Amino acid sequence: MMRRWPYLARSALVAASVAAFAVGGHFVATTAIDTQQAKQLEELANIALRRSEVAVDFSVATLNDVMQRGPMTCDAASLQAVRLKVYQRSQVKDIRLVNREGSVICSAYSETLEFDNEWVTRPRMLQTADHSLLLFRVDQINGVALGVLKDIDARTSLVAILGVSAILFDILPTELRDHGEVIAQLDNGADIGRFAASQVLDATDAVTFSSASHRYPLRALVRVAPDALRRWNRDRYWPSMLLAAVLGLAFGLLLTRAVARLEGPIADIDRALARHEFKPYFQPTFDLRTGAIGGCEVLARWVHRDGSVTSPMNFIPLAESSGRIEAITWQILALALKEMRPRLAADKYFKMSVNITPRHLLSDAFVNRLRREVRESGVSARQIVIEVTEREAFPDLEKAAAVIEALREHGFKVALDDVGVGHSGLSQIKRLGVNTMKIDKFFVDTIVQDGSAATIVEMLVRLAAKLRMNVIAEGIETVEQRQALLRCGVECGQGYLVSPPLPYAKFDEFLVAYEARIEAEAVVRQASVA
């Protein structure tokens, strides 16, 4: 009965799960690595900036040193003393004396003046936050440098020429050094130092990280070629992907199990529906006094292809919860109507009961579909009894009463099943307005030994009489039970004492033989009375 769901489908589900986890893993791993890289490169830009700031501080210290010696003049001795200072401070390349406009008056290394491509005037120099210095770019033939200007008095100032490029060269990690650059800039965008890759970097698609100074009009940029970035620090990528794939595999396997468990029995029901494996069995109802059979109850059976039979208790609950009960009911009813039609037509008093779940009873169009099925089978609605169990509470009692009323208006009979063990109190039984009460087997089982069971049955019989309802007792197995029920006033019953539920052919055979026997017994009884 348990169906294998195809190996291919299972493999596909596992593969899909691994793929989904791998895609997720890829995103998580790359995002984590990208974030980590961005943090590292921002930190490098910070380091470049801090070094540039320190270089400026350093040049200010040098200028202060020079000034402490006494005013710098352009005479040979003074310039020589300044040259000594410059010589001691490797990043300071030159110190110059400038006038108010910023034009050079003299330089410690006067030869270097020839290297200048451009010397900006004071208005184009940038002020530091504390107004103590002016910074500007010095464009020279052999590269760029930073000019740091500090005023001596109202007419003259000192300028330190600072080489910034040299302090930027070891910032980038070796893997990125050939594919990136570190730049120190003034706030106006003028480069004042640069460590550039040996390969030319395409600035338009380079990834840039920057850090700006609070003290000086300075910023540092780190630029890296995107593909170099993609290769850098990827050691965590493959382990993450492996972990994702393993998780995906585990999830996929769990999922296939869950799906197999869920899908299996429901798919079995669907296949059985398609193959018409749900069949009606018939159990007679009989007059407890005379034994005469006045009808039957249709009970569902799942007859498998190998001939084995599954009892309704083993598939009705799942059929109900999975929404298959209605299809099963209609399949069984159609066959039951077809098989029973000749007998129902021959005996207009013969009744056939069918079990309908409360939810099906309350579903839209139930009454219309029932009428159509019964009409099309050529059976009279008056011979059909709808049995509704009261084991579960009705989701909507008012609606149930309305549907029952509609059924009765169309000629159907309605029986309340399993009375005494379910939810309905006596007032609800009354409210539902059914024709018949089926007393549960539970009371029949105990009626011989247990006085209280007999009391309850008597009470139900009295109530039924008051409500003009019939009573049927289910599950009668012994003659003693039958006698006890008769003493309680029950007149009609059903049970193995007469017959178990049978498939139609056997049921028909049984009825023919049984009726012949009852008739013979009646003849004997009459003869003995006479």
Does 339 help bind ligand C2E (rule: CB under 6 A)?
Answer: no
H-helix or E-strand spanning residue 84: helix 76-88
Chain positions 449 to 488 lying near Ca ion, rule: CB under 5 A, are 474
CB of 29 to ligand C2E, least distance (A): 54
CA separation for the pair 240, 217 (Å, rounded): 43
- Identify the residue among 34, 42, 151, 477 touching ligand C2E (CB under 6 A): 477
4 CB neighbour count, 10 Å cutoff: 8
Closer residue to Ca ion (CB): 165 or 436: 436
Q: What would the DSSP string read from start to end of 91-160?
A: TEEEEEEE-TT--EEEETTGGGGGGEEE---GGGSEEPTTSS-EEEEEEETTEEEEEEEEESSSS-EEEE
316 binds, among ligand C2E, Ca ion, none (CB under 5 to 8 A by kind): ligand C2E
395 CB neighbour count, 10 Å cutoff: 10
Asked whether the beta carbons of 436 and 385 are under 8 A apart, the reply is yes
Does 181 help bind Ca ion (rule: CB under 5 A)?
Answer: no
CB of 387 to ligand C2E, least distance (A): 6
Does 387 help bind Ca ion (rule: CB under 5 A)?
Answer: yes
- Identify the residue among 355, 383, 435, 481 touching Ca ion (CB under 5 A): 355
CB of 416 to ligand C2E, least distance (A): 11
Does 311 help bind ligand C2E (rule: CB under 6 A)?
Answer: yes
Closer residue to ligand C2E (CB): 110 or 311: 311
Asked whether the beta carbons of 130 and 149 are under 8 A apart, the reply is no
Closer residue to ligand C2E (CB): 208 or 478: 478
Number of residues that make up the chain: 530
Tell me the window of 168-176, 240-248, 311-319, 506-514 that interacts with ligand C2E (CB under 6 A): 311-319
Single-letter amino acid code for the residue at 516: A
Closer residue to Ca ion (CB): 181 or 418: 418
Does 390 help bind Ca ion (rule: CB under 5 A)?
Answer: no
Closer residue to ligand C2E (CB): 51 or 438: 438
Asked whether the beta carbons of 438 and 472 are under 8 A apart, the reply is yes
* Residue 368 CB contacts under 8 Å (≥ 6 apart), including other chains: none
Handedness of CA 292, 294, 299, 305 (dihedral sign): positive
Burial class (CB in 10 A: 0-12, 13-18, 19+), 510: middle
- Identify the residue among 82, 144, 288, 299 touching ligand C2E (CB under 6 A): 299
CB of 357 to ligand C2E, least distance (A): 5
Q: Exposure string (b/e) for 218-257, b if CB count within 10 Å is 16 or more?
A: bbbbbbbbeebbeebbeeeeeebbeebbebbeebbeeebe
**Contact string (CB under 6 A) for ligand C2E, positions 427-446, x = contact:** --------------x-----
477 binds, among Ca ion, ligand C2E, none (CB under 5 to 8 A by kind): ligand C2E
**Contact string (CB under 5 A) for Ca ion, positions 410-449, x = contact:** -------xx---------------------x---------
Asked whether the beta carbons of 436 and 472 are under 8 A apart, the reply is yes
Asked whether the beta carbons of 287 and 340 are under 8 A apart, the reply is no
CB of 345 to ligand C2E, least distance (A): 22
Tell me the window of 308-316, 408-416, 465-473, 520-528 that interacts with ligand C2E (CB under 6 A): 308-316
Does 312 help bind ligand C2E (rule: CB under 6 A)?
Answer: yes
Beta bridge partners of 309: 303
CB of 392 to ligand C2E, least distance (A): 11
Applying CB under 5 A, the residues found at the interface with Ca ion are 355, 387, 417-418, 440, 474
Binding site for ligand C2E (CB under 6 A): 283, 299-300, 311-313, 316, 329, 332, 355-357, 389, 417-418, 441, 474-477, 494-496, 501
